[in-house]
Structure 1
Amino acid sequence: MRKAGLFDARRLAAIAVALFVSATAAHAHGIAGNRFFPGTLTFDDPAVADEAVLPLISSIKRPGEGGDVIDNRINWSFLRLLTPTVAFAVDSGAAARNWGVSRRSGFDTTSLTIKSEIYRNDPHEMLIAASLGWGIGRSGALGIGAGATDTIKPGIFFGKGFGDLPDQLGWLRPFGIAGGVVLEHPLSSTSPALGLDPTTGALGPTIVGNVDILHWGFAVEFSTLYLTSRFTGGPPKEEPLNQWVPLVEFAFDSPRGQKTAATVNPGISYVAVTWQAAVEAVIPLNTQAGRTVGARAQMLFFLDDLIPSLFGKPLLTGR
């Protein structure tokens, strides 16, 4: 009886250690159970982790102040864990805007954000996170459309994988869905900007009205590792990294009292242990979003795995 009890205790201890290692590792990336949620390009993903986007590059033609503009942007962001489930983020960038008759370039608006994981269910491959951001007014250049007013940006983000489906629906297990909703609330009703004069066609200063904008979207993602024998329906034996993730993102910007700008963005991500690379097309679904196809590309680094000596632990908890 003693030997059996000792064996059971050792087995339970081994299982506990395995679960602890798995849970600790899962928090390193956007992982819930067997599901990896890749860093998205048009809205934030549900992950809370030490990571950096260096860079996010985009080239998009869309309606602007007084006429169509081509925005070539390079953005960056940095996310640092304060506790295992709470992180602080800063993001900014730079852009070159082309109206055809004139061009301007400069820095984009800088934003500061607190983001927290509020729900996790590993057996059902589900993550939910919430955030509160501050877009710092006058931190960017008016010539590229960077906001001249402060904005408050509450948001919520989710991810749900279908690996928990029964055998009858096993063909759906590689699929997952991620989404996000952010309300951008300006703290002033108007802002100075640059735009085309409809009479002269010349570029000059103008005043634009500020309204609440709901930024929302979702992505359908496909985990190619579900096509291998490593997935048995039970707990993961290792992190689901080193895989291709084809995806299609749908992004919508809905200003209050105005028409929604909508795009569909098919693309693909490759996920490694320390980095992720992604590229997608930006296809307008209506005239509010533009008339030509654009593109985005992103390089994301998992800092806790890339530089564990600096980012291996949260700042405030030390574990």
Structure 2
Amino acid sequence: MRKQMGAVGILLCGIAAGRAHAHGVVGQRSFIEPFITEDVNPKNEFVIARPEWDHARDGRTLSFGFGLEKKISDRFSLTLDSSWLDITPKPAAKPHASGFDNLGVTLKYAFFVDPVHEAIASIALESTAPTGTERVRVEQNASFKPFLLYGKGLNELPDALEYLRPFGVQGDAGFEIAIDRARTTTLAHNVAIEYSIPYLQQAVHDFGLAWPLSNFIGDAEFNFEHGVNGEEQGRSKVFVTPGFVYMDRWVELGVAGRFPLNQAANDELDWGVIFIVDLFIDDILPRTRWQPIGGMRPPTPMPGTAAS
């Protein structure tokens, strides 16, 4: 119990006064956990809640996502994730349904890390097992998705553009292939454009912004889906997810809107709101820094203090 209270105390202290950032560090850059886009960085984290409220023509969906990512080695991680779905259809005569989504399992490997240029690239394989509740209309077939992930900061811009250096980009692209008769295939590409106030303060110019503004990071994500094979073949959906997050050494808290940008996307979604509560467990519970390959690891260095 004392250890648990100590961990909670550390977390609360971090929220109250945390100025250090040790999540997804590449050089002087700390990349966030985006709302939709997959984070390029292998890491130890527990997404304790990712609530999302979606409003569409055929009803409303409330989901509570959660996931755990654990490093196997410095550059390799395993993620397990799922969500609880609550669906209220239109018209009201249709039955209300709730239950679990399918289980997702992702292996991620960072094959390129360049701290000097704030650049990182990873490959990943995501597989989905049909473990969800059938009444919430989850996919009844397993699927897999090999994809490429990337991240880059704009630290190389000239001095005349120094206030653009806090911008960074993360993205992922890959084919999601269902193991069904139609071999339903979707090309998905997500891009997250981030502007980091902590980076502005620490690496460009210190404006003396007080907490919590000094820990805010703006995030605008563009999400693309294109049907390659199956019922959605030839249809492209484009969404935008603008929001912001608060991030310190222990936690990331964020909120974003979700909106369609073309008719095909609007057929699926009118609007939505998504939140994230992400705990960086390797700093909250130091023993979780142990890795099967490499053993116990030291704390993640602060941005700019060591190579990632």
TM-score by length of 1: 0.77
- Indicate yes or no: 2:274 matched with 1:274: no
TM-aligned CA deviation for residue 259 of structure 1: 1.4
Deviations 1:25-84 (A, max 9, x none): 99x621111111100111211110111111111011346xxxx23221111111111111
Paired position in structure 2 for 1:30 = 24
User: Counterpart in 1 of 2:47?
Assistant: 53
Contact 1:29 1:48 in 2 (8 A): no
Amino acid at match of 2:272: G
Structure 2's unaligned 5+ residue stretches are: 1-19, 206-213, 298-308
Q: Which residue of the partner structure matches residue 207 of structure 1? A: none
Q: CA RMSD in A?
A: 2.1
Corresponding residue of 2:192:
219
Amino acid at match of 1:103: H
Alpha-carbon distance, 1:123 to partner = 1.0
Q: Which residue of 2 aligns with 1:314?
A: 291
- Number of paired residues? 261
> Counterparts in 2 of 1:1-319, with a 5 A limit?
29-62=23-56, 68-100=58-90, 101-137=94-130, 139-189=131-181, 211-228=184-201, 230-231=202-203, 243-256=215-228, 257-290=233-266, 292-309=270-287, 311-318=288-295, 319=297
Q: Quick one: distance in 1 between partners of 2:165 and 2:249?
A: 23
Instruction: Provide the C-alpha distance between the structure 1 equivalents of 2:251 and 2:33, rounded to a whole number of angstroms.
Output: 10
Quote how far apart the aligned CAs of 1:97 are.
1.6
Distance 1:182 1:143 in 2: 28
1:81 alignment partner AA = K
Counting aligned pairs with the same residue, the percent is 25
Following TM superposition, by how much is the alpha carbon of 1:226 offset from its aligned partner in structure 2, in angstroms? 3.5
Kindly name which structure, 1 or 2, has the bigger radius of gyration based on alpha carbons: 1
Q: How big is the shift at 1:301?
A: 0.8
- 1:280 deviation in Å? 0.1
- 1:246-287 C-alpha deviation (Å, 9 max, x unpaired): 111111222222311211111001101111001100011123
Q: Which has the higher contact order (CA 8 A, sep 6+)?
A: 2
User: How far apart, in 1, do the equivalents of 2:88 and 2:237 lie?
Assistant: 20
> Residues 91 and 213 of structure 1: is their aligned pair in 2 closer, same or farther, counting only changes over 3 Å?
same
Contact 2:29 2:199 in 1 (8 A): no
Alpha-carbon distance, 1:232 to partner: 6.0
Long gaps (5+) in structure 1:
1-24, 191-209, 234-241
The amino acid that maps onto 1:78 is L
